Amino acid sequence: MRLRVPSFAKINWMLEVLGARPDGYHEVRTVLQTIDLTDVLDVERTEGEIEVLCAHPDVPGGEANLVFRAAHLLRRAKGVKAGARIRIEKRIPVAAGLGGGSSNAAVALLTLARLWEVALEVGEQLELGCALGSDVPFFLLGGTALGIGRGDEVYPLPEVRADLLVLANPGFPISTAWAYRQLTKRGIVGNISVCSRVWYRAVREGEPPPLSEIVVGNAFEGIVRERHPELARGLDRMRELGAVVVGLSGSGPTIFGVFESEDPAIRAEVAFATLGWWRARTQTVSRRQYWERLSAALSDEASRP
């Protein structure tokens, strides 16, 4: 039995780091959003061991791979004897602030539960997700969501819709651990309090903020601007090209711009192509769309995302 399942990327509309926690992690407050950029997991049930394959040179194997760890965690938790061969087709840039590895792990849990024919209640999904990493529980929810604690405690928010979203990535990774260390040394500045008020009002009114009123804030932006001037220029260029919302996703280096019409979005794609950056035009994926596509793939052998 074999399934092919999409694994969606995310961006952060805002990301606030509140300080260090007793467990060594950082307390965060973030608004996450699934987008229509996907890896694909091709998962086959076997009677052997767990095998994870990926052609991308920067995707680790063995226990360093979150998919491998997710499979072993589920197998232990449920006493499963079967194995699996999991092929990851990478379309989401690696170490890019887009949550690709966490998304892969979440989708692997759901897919393997289906193939191994084990019940996995929502509470169990979240418990396993939290054990794997801070972003994994979000990909068991999807859409627009608030993340608090380590980012692993997630709550649905009024859905943001952006049909013209341009991503751009200069092609180098940024270590999340490095970025957090810099924050610890320097403290946190920015417009996060303004962002928080916007989202508080959205929750209170039950409606997402208009795109023109979303104030994107990211505690890491000042650090990456200083360390990587090309990213600073990219963020500024995205705004110059007409984006109504411009932001850094995660700790970077992927930046994004939301456009209100197609022509400036096309110009942005061309401009970043000229710079030699990876780029993609995409859109937000609502919670309903997210689960419709996942459910369709999980319910059908030899499915196609």
Q: Tell me, yes or no, whether 119 and 266 share the same domain.
A: no
Whole-structure pTM value = 0.93
Q: Tell me, yes or no, whether 231 and 130 share the same domain.
A: no
300 assigned to some structural domain:
no
149 phi-psi bin (left φ>0, alpha ψ -120 to 50, beta other): left
301 assigned to some structural domain:
no
Q: Tell me, yes or no, whether 145 and 177 share the same domain.
A: no
Q: Tell me, yes or no, whether 201 and 97 share the same domain.
A: no
| CA gap 157, 163 in Å, rounded | 18
Q: Tell me, yes or no, whether 138 and 177 share the same domain.
A: no
305 assigned to some structural domain:
no
Q: Tell me, yes or no, whether 147 and 172 share the same domain.
A: no
Q: Tell me, yes or no, whether 172 and 110 share the same domain.
A: no
| CA gap 121, 281 in Å, rounded | 35
30 assigned to some structural domain:
yes
Q: Residue 50 pairs with which residues in a beta bridge?
A: 84
**What are 194's two structure tokens?**
């303004």
Give the end of a domain, one of 112, 136, 158: 158
pLDDT at 150: 83
Q: In what order do the strands lie in the sheet with 278-282?
A: 245-248, 255-258, 165-169, 278-282
Q: Tell me, yes or no, whether 49 and 93 share the same domain.
A: yes
302 assigned to some structural domain:
no
Q: Tell me, yes or no, whether 154 and 11 share the same domain.
A: yes
Known active-site residue 10: yes
CATH number for position 268? 3.30.70.890
Q: How many domains does the chain have?
A: 2
193 assigned to some structural domain:
yes
Q: Tell me, yes or no, whether 39 and 65 share the same domain.
A: yes
pLDDT below 50 — which residues of the chain? Answer: 189, 302-305
pLDDT at 62: 83
CATH number for position 122? 3.30.230.10
230 phi-psi bin (left φ>0, alpha ψ -120 to 50, beta other): alpha
298 assigned to some structural domain:
no
Give the end of a domain, one of 158, 177, 197: 158
pLDDT at 130: 94
pLDDT digits (tens, 9 = 90+) for 135-166: 999 999 999 999 998 888 999 999 999 999 99
Catalytic residue of the set 36, 39, 135, 152:
135
Known active-site residue 58: no
Q: Tell me, yes or no, whether 144 and 216 share the same domain.
A: no
pLDDT digits (tens, 9 = 90+) for 283-302: 999 999 999 999 999 996 54
CA distances from 99 to 79, 191, 254, 303 (A): 29, 23, 11, 23
Could you tell me the residue range of the domain that residue 170 belongs to?
165-282
132 phi-psi bin (left φ>0, alpha ψ -120 to 50, beta other): alpha
Catalytic residue of the set 10, 36, 39, 152:
10
